[in-house]
């Protein structure tokens, strides 16, 4: 194809023009840094992007297979381009650079003049130069379009092979396995992740990967890809003479710098590729910079990780804006990740290449833990490898980066959590980089507390950006913040309220261990005063979660807030909503008719919710029992919309109906909702079950969510779709049914036992020391030996469950509280008024003339009358 001739470059006599070629992760970081610098005010910025979409998170590309959308992977904030006047040209890649004329030509034939040019062209996947790699069914693993093509092909495939056993290769293998393919990994090196882990770590990693059902072939290369008569891959010929049957192949054997534009315009490149740059990320042409994976830095390396790319982006941005120089001198190449469910971390001189270095090892093949630290001759920590237990990575990495002799014995540091002898926290020097994503040091974090007035981790995150990247440093960040606060005599008051000098978790244990059954006994023995609107509902929830009887019985009733007091949600005009449980969103036509008839007869507003059930609004307090009676008689029960308890377990139709479904998600959702119904907790609980990786039930936005795989179920926890959205974390994968339920039991009871008042699972998971790793150790591996207790507590709840509506209807004493006027039962409250809108009622607003409605009410037993105000 003939390249279009570039039109004459436009002449610009005003603002200096910066052209950025490439809009990936590094390119976006360059833009964000540049526009924040004072010198950027006079710049005009154009971005030429090859892909049809703005920058997105390639590091978490694999999460797309488990339901993360392209929108969720976006890195370019909404409005960012417009706010800063950036001319972003999507889907029109640069094809030529004329350095003499200072122009860039794109595939469409457009030409752009530049004063400064920044190359952020990244890299391309390396495909071995062997016959057959163009066969149908062969893929690379680099972009969103790549993963979409892989998933489309996987639907008709049976066996998948990944060429390459590095980071991306193992992620690709995990994706193929999750889609139900028999999966193989072919790696030419003698071990997996050869660049990151040593022989011992590689051996353990291989065992753990193979235990998960992935076949690993190391020390062997690909000789050819063999195709059938239709031109589709059928097998791989290996260098050892063997043949591996496969109908889908993913090449993930490394990347190469995309330096073609630089080569063609005469810029120097390295012998093995990469655009040669200096410490300011300038090429030989001072008007041209190169950053990220396309650049060969002054240390002779092409950096393939995002952290060095970000550092180069910041260096180049300062140089372009004319700010204070910040030369690129290398960057942290440490990695911590989970591959096929296996925790792996590598940092510093992981292979002990430094002269005089010695290793300190801990290896436990039975529990699947390998930890190696490399110690220098002066006693400094140089690097390390962690497989199976990466809990201390956040501390070890900055210690290694600091390059100082250790104050702590290496033998203590190499032991996994729980085995090291008791000691105080490891002290990090001020220049230790805690957050490598944003290059935030311990000293900067301490300054945020000392000088900027921050008193919490969220405040420090906002002030410094620490912990807002990959998130691996959050645990250490909390330790540094707490230590700085303590050193300044600032203590965080974690008492529940003025009446109890205990946290909610401590009160839970007191109630459980001592068998306390009433608030009065608890406050008498462990508190002061008579309680308040903070501690009373908390204790009521604890008593209820420990199967303490009906919440409206005796002293319990006086502890409840308004919603629990009437087993319904109070609305803005004093009316209540009634929400029957519809497990899994599955409802019969007869059930739909019953709800419709009740709403019609009682004049209620109805709405189908996002949680797959039907809410009915506008009931008066004395109507509630009559509505419940008809619902209970029709087989419905309380949906606990009024309580801090399980709300819904949302589901898709799953394997029973959907052609993509691989498990019966609806049946599992119904089972889980019925199992955990009425479970009182520190905050409301939401759940979902998706029948395949398409994730139609949005399980990864729930407190606990389940996604079907061909081998079982993946369990995600800590999601939140509310005002502070959080993507759920994978707790365990490919679980059989019984194991799944058992781990959910443990997770929920551990959360209920240890969370603070009104703390969602998302906040709890980020706050609890050790985070997800600790929770996994407790509820999956039983590291604390409490899983039997957690399971017994859940069994007690399941066995003691009763529907609170039905139990209230059966008790005349409980029914007496449901009246608007004690001296005139059944008389509607004239202050509760409504207007009609869109064919239904809604509460009257201030200034509107609303009217009370005729209301059928339960006068006694089953007798219903209609009364008007």
497 labelled ligand-binding: no
What's the CA dihedral at 393, 398, 403, 409 to 10 degrees? -50
Distance CA 857, CA 860 (A): 9
Give 399-402's long-range contacts (Cβ < 8 A, gap of 24+).
399/426, 399/428, 399/432, 400/334, 400/347, 400/348, 400/349, 401/332, 401/348, 401/432, 401/433, 402/428, 402/429, 402/431, 402/432
Distance CA 618, CA 832 (A): 9
On whether the CB atoms of residues 33 and 314 are closer than 8 A, the answer is: yes
Question: CA nearest 74: which of 23, 35, 125, 36?
Answer: 23
Q: What is the separation, in whole angstroms, between the first and last Cα of the chain?
A: 83
Q: What is the 3-state secondary structure (H, E, C) of 152-209?
A: HHHCCCCEEEEECCCHHHHHHHHHHHHCCCEEEEEECCCCCCCCCCCHHHHHHHHHHH
On whether the CB atoms of residues 137 and 157 are closer than 8 A, the answer is: yes
Retrieve residue 32's tokens.
Answer: 């964000």
Distance CA 842, CA 835 (A): 6
Retrieve residue 376's tokens.
Answer: 């220098």
Type and span of the H or E element at 738: helix 737-754
DSSP string, 557-570: HHH--HHHHHTSEE
692 labelled ligand-binding: yes
Q: What is the largest CA-CA distance in the chain?
A: 95
Distance CA 193, CA 363 (A): 18
φ and ψ at 95, to 5 degrees?
A: -120, -15
DSSP state of 613: S
Question: CA nearest 707: which of 660, 657, 762, 665?
Answer: 665
Distance CA 643, CA 562 (A): 10
- Residue 609 makes CB contacts below 8 A (sequence gap 6+) with 615
| CA 252 to chain CA mean position, Å | 25
On whether the CB atoms of residues 356 and 390 are closer than 8 A, the answer is: no
Distance CA 195, CA 563 (A): 58
Q: 723-753: buried (b, 16+ CB within 10 Å) or exposed (e) per residue?
A: eeebbbbbbbbbbeeeebbbbbbbbbbbbbb
Binding site per annotation, positions for siroheme:
696
Binding site per annotation, positions:
652, 658, 692, 696
């Amino acid at each position: 194809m003939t390249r279009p001739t570039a039109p004459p470059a436009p002449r610009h006599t005003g603002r200096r023009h910066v052209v950025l070629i490439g809009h990936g992760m590094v390119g976006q970081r360059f833009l964000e840094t540049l526009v924040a610098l004072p010198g950027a005010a006079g710049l005009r910025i154009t971005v030429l992007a090859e892909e049809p979409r703005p920058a997105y998170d390639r590091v978490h590309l694999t999460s797309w297979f488990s339901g993360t959308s392209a929108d969720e992977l976006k890195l370019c904030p909404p409005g960012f381009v417009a706010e800063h006047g950036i001319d972003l040209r999507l889907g029109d890649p640069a094809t030529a650079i004329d350095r003499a004329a200072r122009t860039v030509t794109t595939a469409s034939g457009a030409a752009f003049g530049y004063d400064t040019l920044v190359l952020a062209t990244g890299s391309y996947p390396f495909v071995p130069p062997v016959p057959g790699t163009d066969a149908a069914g062969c893929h690379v693993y680099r972009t969103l379009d790549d993963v979409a093509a892989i998933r489309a092909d996987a639907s008709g495939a049976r066996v998948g092979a990944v060429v390459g056993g590095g980071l991306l290769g193992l992620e690709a293998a995990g994706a193929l396995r999750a889609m139900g393919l028999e999966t193989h990994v072919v790696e030419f090196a003698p071990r997996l992740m050869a660049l990151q882990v040593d022989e011992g770590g590689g051996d353990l990693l291989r065992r753990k990967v193979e235990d998960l059902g992935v076949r690993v072939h190391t020390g062997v290369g690909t000789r050819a890809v063999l195709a059938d008569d239709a031109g589709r891959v059928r097998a791989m010929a290996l260098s050892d003479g063997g043949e591996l049957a496969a109908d889908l192949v993913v090449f993930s054997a490394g990347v190469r710098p995309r330096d073609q534009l630089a080569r063609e315009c005469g810029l120097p490149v390295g012998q093995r590729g990469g655009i040669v740059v200096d410490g300011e990320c300038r090429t030989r042409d001072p008007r041209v910079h190169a950053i990220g994976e396309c650049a060969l830095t002054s240390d002779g390396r092409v950096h393939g990780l995002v952290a060095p790319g970000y550092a180069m982006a910041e260096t180049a941005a300062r140089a372009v804006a004319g700010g204070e120089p910040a030369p690129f001198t290398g960057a942290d190449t440490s990695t911590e990740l989970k591959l096929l469910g296996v925790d792996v971390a590598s940092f510093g001189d992981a292979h002990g290449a430094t002269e005089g270095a010695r290793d300190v090892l801990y290896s436990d093949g039975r529990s699947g833990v390998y930890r190696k630290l490399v110690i220098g001759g002066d006693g400094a920590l140089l690097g390390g490898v962690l497989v199976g237990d990466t809990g201390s990575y956040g501390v070890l990495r900055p210690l290694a980066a600091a390059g100082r002799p250790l104050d702590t014995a290496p033998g203590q540091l190499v032991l996994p959590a729980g085995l090291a002898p008791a000691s105080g926290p490891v002290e990090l020097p001020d220049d230790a980089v805690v957050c490598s994503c944003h290059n935030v040091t311990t000293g900067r974090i301490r300054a945020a507390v000392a000088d900027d007035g921050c008193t919490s981790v969220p405040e420090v995150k906002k002030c410094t950006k620490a912990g807002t990247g990959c998130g691996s440093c959050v645990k250490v960040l909390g330790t540094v913040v707490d230590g700085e606060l303590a050193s300044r005599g600032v203590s965080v008051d974690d008492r529940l309220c003025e009446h109890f000098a205990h946290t909610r978790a401590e009160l839970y244990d007191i109630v459980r261990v001592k068998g306390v059954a009433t608030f009065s006994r608890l406050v008498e023995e462990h508190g002061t005063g008579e309680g308040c609107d903070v501690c009373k509902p908390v204790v009521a929830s604890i008593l209820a979660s420990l199967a303490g009887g009906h919440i409206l019985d005796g002293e319990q009733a006086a502890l409840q807030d308004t919603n629990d007091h009437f087993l319904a949600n109070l609305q803005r005009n004093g009316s209540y909503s009634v929400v029957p449980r519809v497990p899994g969103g599955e409802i019969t036509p007869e059930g739909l008719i019953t709800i419709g008839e009740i709403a019609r007869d009682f004049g209620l507003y109805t709405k189908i919710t996002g949680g797959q059930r039907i809410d009915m609004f506008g009931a008066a307090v004395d109507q509630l029992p009559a509505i419940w009676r008809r619902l209970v008689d029709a087989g419905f029960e309380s949906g606990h919309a009024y309580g801090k308890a399980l709300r819904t377990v949302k589901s898709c139709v799953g394997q029973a109906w959907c052609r993509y479904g691989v498990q019966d998600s609806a049946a599992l959702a119904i089972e889980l909702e019925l199992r955990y119904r009425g479970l009182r907790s520190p905050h409301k609980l939401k759940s979902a079950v998706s029948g395949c990786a398409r994730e139609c039930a949005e399980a990864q936005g729930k407190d606990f969510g389940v996604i079907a795989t061909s081998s079982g179920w993946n369990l995600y926890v800590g999601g939140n779709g509310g005002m502070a959205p959080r993507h759920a974390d994978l707790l365990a994968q490919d679980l059989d049914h019984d194991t799944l339920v058992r781990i959910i039991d443990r997770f929920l009871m551990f959360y209920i036992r240890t969370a603070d008042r009104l703390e969602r699972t998302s906040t709890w998971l980020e706050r609890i020391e050790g985070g997800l790793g600790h929770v996994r150790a407790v509820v999956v591996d039983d590291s604390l030996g409490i899983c039997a207790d957690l399971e017994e507590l859940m069994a007690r709840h399941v066995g003691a469950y009763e529907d609170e509506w039905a139990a209230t209807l059966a008790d005349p004493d409980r029914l007496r509280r449901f009246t608007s006027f004690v001296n005139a039962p059944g008389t509607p409250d004239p202050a509760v008024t409504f207007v009609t809108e869109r064919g239904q009622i809604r509460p009257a607003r201030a200034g509107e003339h609303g009217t009370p409605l005729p209301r059928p009410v339960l006068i006694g037993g089953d007798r219903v009358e209609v009364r008007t105000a």
